Amino acid sequence: MPDTHAAMNFCAIDFETACYQRASACAVGLIKVREGELVDQFYTLIRPPYGMEIIPSFTAIHGIRMRDVAGAPTFDEAWPLMQTFIGADYLVAHNSSFDRSVLRYCLEYYSINSPLPPFTCTVQCARKAWPTLVNHKLDTVSRYLGIELTHHEALSDSLACAKIYLAANGLEPHRN
């Protein structure tokens, strides 16, 4: 795990999905960090593939409805912008196995031949940094660190993730 400002160049990522299928991304948030500084953000709703419509129990979690994504890009339309934003960065995600699998399945679904960036998991970082917390869920760690969070909103979740990762590495997050 990097431990200097100069090594703290990464993108935090968070996906929201429409249903139980991992290729059903309906929103993504990205936060770019350079030398430990929060410098840029990217957010878009994503129209999930036909047959992977947003189900009510998922809307109850993240608040996104099919009418919200009706005019949104599909993943294959959003990916070039996401890929440009990410660049050569590694990705940081809370429970990274989920976000990594959403990215992998979306790329596979649309037959996009693009390598997955390396991922680092902030759940694991938080467990190591603050082992006595009751649990290491995003909202619990955010509350402990005093990070404002609108849970299950992709941009807010990715911002909290970036701040958790910086804090776990002994850095205070700052915005330019």
158-170 pLDDT tens trace: 999 999 999 999 9
112-153 pLDDT tens trace: 999 999 999 999 999 999 999 999 999 999 999 999 999 999
Confidence (pTM): 0.93
Strands 119-121 and 90-93: parallel
Q: Which domains does the chain have, with CATH numbers?
A: 10-168 (3.30.420.10)
- For 103, the token pair is 């990215």
CA within 13 Å, CB half, 139: 4
